[in-house]
């Protein structure tokens, strides 16, 4: 189409997710929301586990105790209920269960996919490790991944539930590949498995799915592979399912603006850790997706005061207008002490509600939140 | 006939017990990482780690052994993290890996700390009779400057020179070592532009000539572009290390086109994949490289992993140490 008009057959409503046509945000506004403005509050996913859950996970490995898989499942249920409600108590609009059943974002899935083996933990940074798996055979769908987790959380939550799922590129890139000729092939094989899982989640009622692709920041030159993986994932996903992509700890200038072509509604970005130095990256060309802005640092043990978080939130208006801004922490909070994680989440929500009220009152005058000048 | 010497670029994985123990002792946050002021319990734990990692290398039969660099929480940026004039800030990505280090920001006049020398002293003391000769490991000046942020010296050239001076002062405090591996992945990953490339070669030369040890400037994650490689050839090095795992063609091109040092280090074992190479495969690759460079015979050929080894789980890292040692010694396959 060279004259600006769509070709025949090209103009109708697209049937797949992330075409940007459906308003997939408004469904998450709480009925009793107190402000006209609505900055959707959520979390990236992981949250510190209660100490007793860590203990339960040790006990199940220990033959000396009569503590079996059934007991552990009950402990996971209790923890998922507890953290889901803790998120609701903090006031989040969209909650998760803090990934209580998951040990780590790659390991959890690799244990459920046939073709993987484990050799032991490797360093990520400092004293943070993960049991990086090796792909030693063709990958295929093993046991269920997340449907049971979603159904349980959705059953105990009174707020909408988001499902974070590790993306295929990260599952490929953060594994040792001993089997496939190249990582790209492995990533596409895994993308088809993720697509299968996302369809099952949607079938179970999930309306907000976040694909976690931190590895995109690791190897930014591979953004086209991630794009192709996402195309495979969103195939046949209905348009009213909100799809986010979480990326963190990288040089975003190396993936922007290419990522704007990805078939998702929202990008969830870590920016507080770098004190918003990378905001200008997203200003030119214009950011055309929704932005989920990290406003609290996931790796400092001090709870940021509400006033500080409010200033961080306003950084978001330098990229998108309020109706396209989601607020979340930089990344999963699981490495923090639980009281700190809760304090950060609670202060974050309070800061958002205050910013919304100030937006309603026309008191914020920055970036895309600036009141339009009177003619 | 070239002498085959089995070694590594250092930075071994921590033994699994130490991952848990040190994590409990130190914590998980940015501020909990090593800053050179650790207490007795942490120091004692690292002493045990060093002894164990020396045992791994001795058992494997490596010809050069390293202290393991277990304390290097910030990977090869570690020497700067120890310096008084450096603030360690947010965690940033370590090259294109799923690994992070604290961004070292140089805010004052850099002065050497002796931290690496002290580690080498402790390693020398812990060496058993049957162990290989001691090898020091340092970041090269170009990579160290590249990993850091300068708020003191003002421009890239002045900063590079300052980092080189800092490393020279560190090296001058070293005990006697047989070999020094200078790790220069940034020459590949973020190669110096015109003007800086010559200065990078000169900076590496200054660090290399500060010691009597044999100096290997080891490059990885591909091949150094032609111009910086040509300038690297001006440095007084005993060997340049090449990553034949990730790009054998471009490295071979540099060698045949611009020549190389009298000794050579070949990165032949993949430090980032659990697939363990066969001893025969490694020996064949050594022969293959020799065949491709008929014009030159090397006095010493170092056989090494292409990258640091901390990316691997302990079992596979140790198997690879054995493969390198056996390949250098002309022994057969490792049998379980």
Domains of chain B: which residue ranges?
Answer: 3-80+111-329
If DSSP codes are grouped into helix, strand and coil, which group holds residue A367?
A: helix
Q: What pLDDT, on a 0 to 100 scale, did the predictor assign at position A15?
A: 43
User: What number is the average pLDDT over the span A1-11?
Assistant: 43
Among the residue ranges A9-18, A209-218, A361-370, B98-107, the one predicted with the least confidence is A9-18
Which A residues, 302 through 341, put their C-beta within 8 Å of a C-beta on chain B? 335
pLDDT over threshold 60, residue A21: no
**Which of residues A239 and A176 earns the better pLDDT score?**
A176
d(CA A365, CA A373): 11
Nearest to A174 among B33, B98, B100 (CB): B98
Residues 6+ apart with CB under 8 A from B298: B2, B262, B263, B264
A229 is in an annotated binding site: no
Residues of chain B neighbouring A129 (CB-CB closer than 8 A): 19, 23
Share above pLDDT 90 across residues of chain A, in percent, rounded to a whole number = 85
| Of the options 3.20.20.210, 3.90.850.10, 3.40.50.720, 2.60.120.10, the CATH number for the domain spanning A26-360 | 3.20.20.210
Range A94-116 average pLDDT? 96
Look at B97 and A218 and tell me if their CB atoms are within 8 Å. yes
Does A368 touch chain B if contact means CB atoms closer than 8 Å?
no
Do residues B67 and B23 touch, judged by C-beta distance below 8 A?
Answer: no
Q: Which residues pair with A208 in a beta bridge?
A: A242
Q: Residue B30 and residue A126: Cβ atoms within 8 Å?
A: yes
Helices B314-329/B279-292 angle, 10° precision:
50
Query: What pLDDT, in 10s, does the model give residues A144-172?
Result: 999 999 999 999 999 999 999 999 999 99
Question: With 50 as the cut, is the pLDDT of residue A186 above it?
Answer: yes
Judge whether A266 and A243 are in contact, CB under 8 Å.
Answer: yes
State the first-to-last Cα distance of chain B, in angstroms, to the nearest integer: 31
CB under 8 Å to B212, separation ≥6 — which residues?
Answer: B176
Spatial CB neighbours of A301, under 8 Å, sequence gap ≥ 6 = A336, A337, A340, B29, B31
A121 and B16 within 8 Å at the Cβ level: the answer is yes
Given A126, A300, A301, which is nearest B73 (Cβ)?
A126
Per-residue pLDDT of chain B (336 residues; tens, 9 = 90+): 789 999 999 999 999 999 999 999 998 778 889 988 899 999 999 999 999 999 999 999 999 999 999 999 999 999 999 999 999 998 898 998 889 999 999 999 999 999 999 999 999 999 988 899 999 999 999 999 999 999 999 999 999 999 999 999 999 999 999 999 999 999 999 999 999 999 999 999 999 999 999 999 999 999 999 999 999 999 999 999 999 999 999 999 999 999 999 999 999 999 999 999 999 999 999 999 999 998 888 999 999 999 999 999 999 999 999 999 999 998 765 554
> Measuring CA to CA, which residue among A244, A305, A250, A309 is closest to residue A277?
A250
DSSP β-bridge partners for residue B86: B106
**Calpha distance A351→A342 (Å, rounded):** 14
Find tokens 């490059």 and name the residue.
B219
* Cα–Cα dist B332/A48, whole Å: 49
B residues 100-159 near A, CB within 8 Å?
Answer: 100-101
Task: Retrieve residue A220's tokens.
Answer: 């930014």
pLDDT surpasses 50 at A8: no
User: Per-residue pLDDT for A190 more than 60?
Assistant: yes
Contacts of B106 (CB under 8 A, 6+ apart): B80, B83, B85, B86, B148, B149, B150, B151, B152, B153, B159, B162
What pLDDT is stored for residue B336 in this prediction? 45
Give how far A13 is from chain B: nearest CA, Å.
39
User: What's the pLDDT band for A12 if we cut at 50, 70, 90?
Assistant: very low
pLDDT level of residue A363 (50, 70, 90 thresholds):
very high
DSSP string, B51-72: HHHHHHHHHHT-SEE----TT-
pLDDT band (50, 70, 90) for residue A6: very low
CATH 3.40.50.1000 fits B3-80+111-329, yes or no: no
Tell whether the model's pLDDT for residue A7 goes beyond 60.
no
Annotated binding-site residue? A331:
yes
B314 touches chain A (CB under 8 A): yes
Alpha-carbon distance B206 to nearest alpha carbon in chain A (angstroms): 31
Q: How many Cβ contacts (< 8 angstroms) between chains A and B?
A: 93
A99 is in an annotated binding site: no
Which tokens sit at B178? 């047989």
Q: What is the mean pLDDT of residues A315-330?
A: 97
């Amino acid at each position: 189409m060279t004259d600006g008009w769509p070709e025949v057959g090209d103009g109708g409503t697209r049937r797949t997710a992330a075409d940007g046509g459906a308003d997939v945000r408004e469904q998450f506004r709480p009925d009793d929301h107190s402000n006209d403005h609505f900055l959707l509050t959520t979390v990236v996913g992981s949250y510190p586990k209660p100490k007793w859950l860590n203990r339960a996970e040790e006990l199940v490995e220990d033959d000396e105790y009569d503590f079996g898989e059934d007991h552990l499942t009950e402990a996971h249920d209790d923890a998922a209920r507890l953290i889901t409600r803790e998120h609701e108590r903090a006031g989040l609009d969209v909650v998760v269960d803090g990934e209580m059943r998951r040990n780590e974002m790659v390991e959890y899935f690799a244990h459920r996919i046939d073709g993987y083996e484990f050799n032991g933990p490797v360093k990520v940074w400092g004293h943070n490790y993960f049991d990086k798996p090796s792909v030693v055979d063709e990958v295929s769908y093993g046991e269920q991944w997340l449907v049971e987790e979603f159904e349980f959380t959705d059953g105990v939550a009174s707020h909408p539930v988001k499902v974070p799922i590790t993306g295929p590129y990260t599952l490929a890139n953060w594994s040792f590949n001993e089997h496939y000729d190249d990582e790209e092939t492995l990533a596409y094989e895994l993308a088809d498995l993720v697509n299968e899982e996302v369809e099952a989640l949607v079938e179970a009622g999930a309306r907000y799915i976040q694909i976690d692709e931190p590895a995109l920041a690791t190897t930014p030159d591979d953004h086209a592979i991630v794009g192709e993986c996402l195309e495979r994932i969103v195939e046949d996903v209905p348009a009213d399912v909100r799809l986010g992509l979480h990326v963190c700890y990288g040089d975003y200038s190396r993936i922007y603006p290419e990522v704007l072509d990805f078939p998702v509604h929202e990008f969830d970005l870590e920016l507080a850790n770098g004190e918003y130095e990378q905001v200008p990256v997203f200003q030119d060309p214009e950011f055309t997706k929704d932005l989920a802005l990290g406003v609290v640092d996931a790796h400092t043990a001090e709870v940021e005061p509400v006033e500080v978080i409010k200033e961080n939130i306003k950084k978001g208006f330098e990229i998108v207008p309020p109706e396209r801004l989601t607020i979340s922490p930089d990344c999963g909070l699981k490495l923090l002490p639980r009281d700190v994680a809760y304090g950060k989440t609670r202060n974050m929500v309070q800061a958002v509600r205050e910013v919304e009220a100030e937006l309603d009152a026309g008191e914020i005058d920055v970036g895309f939140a600036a009141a339009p000048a009177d003619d | 006939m070239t002498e085959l010497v089995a070694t590594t670029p250092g930075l071994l994985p921590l033994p699994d017990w130490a991952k848990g123990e040190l994590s409990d002792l130190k914590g998980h946050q940015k501020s909990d990482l090593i800053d050179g002021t650790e207490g007795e319990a942490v120091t004692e734990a690292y002493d045990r780690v060093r002894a164990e990692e020396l045992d791994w290398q001795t058992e494997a039969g490596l010809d050069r052994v390293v202290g393991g660099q277990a304390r290097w929480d910030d990977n090869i940026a570690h020497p700067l993290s120890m310096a008084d004039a450096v603030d360690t800030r947010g965690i940033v990505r370590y090259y294109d890996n799923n690994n992070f280090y604290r961004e070292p920001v140089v805010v004052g006049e850099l002065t050497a700390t002796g931290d690496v020398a002290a580690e080498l002293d402790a390693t020398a003391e812990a060496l058993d009779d049957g162990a290989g000769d001691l090898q020091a490991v340092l970041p090269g000046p170009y990579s160290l400057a590249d990993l850091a942020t300068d708020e003191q010296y003002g421009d890239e050239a002045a900063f590079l020179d300052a980092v080189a001076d800092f490393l020279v002062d560190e090296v001058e405090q070293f005990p006697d070592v047989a070999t020094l591996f200078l790790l220069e992945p940034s020459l590949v990953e973020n190669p110096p532009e015109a003007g800086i490339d010559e200065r990078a070669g000169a900076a590496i030369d200054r660090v290399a000539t500060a010691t009597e040890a044999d100096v290997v400037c080891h490059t990885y994650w591909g091949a150094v572009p032609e111009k910086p490689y040509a300038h690297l050839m001006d440095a007084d090095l005993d060997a340049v290390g090449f990553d034949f795992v990730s790009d054998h063609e471009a490295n071979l091109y540099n060698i045949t086109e611009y020549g190389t040092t009298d000794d050579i280090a070949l990165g032949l074992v993949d430090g980032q994949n659990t697939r363990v190479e066969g001893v025969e495969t490694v020996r064949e690759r050594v022969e293959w490289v020799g065949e491709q460079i008929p014009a030159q015979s090397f006095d010493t050929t170092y056989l090494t992993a292409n990258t640091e080894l901390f990316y691997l789980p302990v079992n596979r890292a140790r198997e690879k140490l054995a493969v390198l040692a056996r390949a250098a010694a002309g022994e057969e396959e490792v049998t379980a």
